[in-house]
Amino acid sequence: MTKNYFNKIKAPEKKYFLLPKTAHGFNLSVLEALYKICKSVKIV
């Protein structure tokens, strides 16, 4: 379902991140993944 929604978004550049072994809310896996994603964002 999330991939279908992502595919409908129109943007000059976008990335899809799938977070395995995570549940709703913030747990250690989610926080670690979010940290890596934020570090990978290039601000222009």
Over 14-37, what HEC string results? Answer: CCCCCCCCCCCCCCHHHHHHHHHH
37 CB contacts (<8 Å, ≥6 apart)? 17
* pLDDT (0 to 100) of residue 22: 75
pLDDT in tens, the chain (44 residues): 789 999 999 999 888 988 777 777 778 888 888 899 899 888 87
* pLDDT (0 to 100) of residue 44: 76
* pLDDT (0 to 100) of residue 7: 94
Structure tokens at 24: 């709703």
